[in-house]
């Protein structure tokens, strides 16, 4: 079909007494541009798919609906107001979310005192932040790697261009133009993926930091004026405790020396 279009335009130019170079050039499709970019377009395409996946996944995971659903916050507030901490621990364990995991961790350690409880809450918040930022950091990796991949295509394209120039000279500019086209397409494609990857990385980073700050504020408000003294050495929940009394002390107590 393309050849027929060119032939038709050629005869139309002859009939109309127009110069041959007035024949309209064919517009390149997206597949033509992709093929022109060379082999580096395949890893760049893979990076673009990964970029979209990490953006969507990070945006969903850092949403308030996933981090601290209002239903979970209100339910735990009611249970804390009633002093029903075992039910609060059971609810936080049965309905997992980032906020519930932090509260459940704090309730697990209230028997050990205020210091241990606050340290466990901060440890869980840091773990959550590390997990979310670890997934979002892949966007930064993509933003760094894709220009390097495009630069690799630039180097290989320039090598081909100079090879064509050394073989055919300047008498056949079409082959030289094809090699230069590969250089430009590869470089532009790498930048086309890197720029939105970096922008979305910083947007996600700020979104995650705000979500983590909100979880910390909500948790601190729950444990404000918590009755640690009344719950001292009274574990809450059914989490298994692994630390036991040293066996040699137990044996010495059960078998006193005569």
Residue 249 falls inside a structural domain: no
Q: Is there a single domain that holds both residue 2 and residue 45? A: no
Biggest CA-to-CA distance, the chain: 126
For residues 72 and 2, membership in a common domain is answered with: no
94 and 44 assigned to the same domain = yes
CA distances from 189 to 43, 156, 181, 183, 193 (A): 11, 15, 12, 10, 6
Kindly tell me if the per-residue pLDDT of 35 is higher than 70.
Answer: no
- Is 257 domain-assigned? no
Does 114 lie in the same domain as 22? Answer: no
> Which range of residues forms the domain containing residue 13?
1-29
- Same domain (yes/no): 55, 9: no
d(CA 57, CA 138): 12
Structure tokens given for 201: 């990385």
Measured distance CA(135)–CA(147) in Å, rounded: 21
pLDDT 10s digits, 61-112: 999 999 999 999 999 999 999 999 999 999 999 988 999 999 999 999 998 8
pLDDT tens readout for residues 183-205: 778 888 889 999 999 999 999 99
Q: Which of 55, 216, 206 is nearest to 126 (CA)?
A: 216
Number of domains into which the chain is organized: 2
In a domain, 252, yes or no: no
Are 97 and 69 in contact by the 8 Å Cβ rule? The answer is: yes
- Answer yes or no: is pLDDT of 148 > 80: yes
The answer to whether residues 70 and 170 belong to one domain is yes
């Amino acid at each position: 079909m393309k050849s027929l279009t060119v032939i038709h335009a050629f005869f139309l130019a002859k009939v109309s007494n127009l110069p041959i170079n007035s024949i309209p050039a064919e517009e390149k499709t997206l597949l033509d541009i992709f093929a022109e970019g060379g082999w580096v377009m395949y890893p760049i395409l893979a990076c673009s798919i990964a970029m979209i996946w990490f953006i969507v996944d990070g945006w969903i995971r850092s949403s308030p609906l996933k981090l601290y659903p209002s239903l979970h916050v209100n339910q735990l507030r009611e249970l804390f107001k009633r002093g029903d901490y075992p039910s609060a621990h059971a609810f936080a364990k049965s309905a997992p979310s980032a906020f519930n995991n932090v509260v459940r961790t704090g309730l697990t350690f209230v028997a050990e005192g205020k210091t241990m409880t606050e340290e466990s809450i901060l440890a869980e918040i840091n773990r959550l932040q590390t997990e979310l930022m670890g997934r979002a950091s892949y966007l930064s990796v993509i933003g760094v790697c894709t220009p390097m991949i495009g630069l690799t295509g630039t180097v290989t394209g320039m090598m081909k261009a100079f090879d064509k120039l050394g073989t055919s000279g300047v008498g056949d500019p079409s082959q030289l133009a094809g090699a230069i086209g590969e250089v430009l397409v590869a470089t532009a494609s790498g930048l086309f993926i890197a720029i939105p990857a970096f922008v979305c990385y910083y947007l996600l980073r700020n979104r995650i930091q705000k979500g983590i700050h909100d979880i910390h504020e909500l948790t601190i408000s729950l444990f404000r004026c918590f009755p640690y003294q009344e719950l001292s050495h009274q574990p809450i929940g059914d989490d298994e405790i692994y630390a036991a009394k040293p066996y040699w002390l137990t044996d010495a107590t059960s078998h006193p020396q005569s």
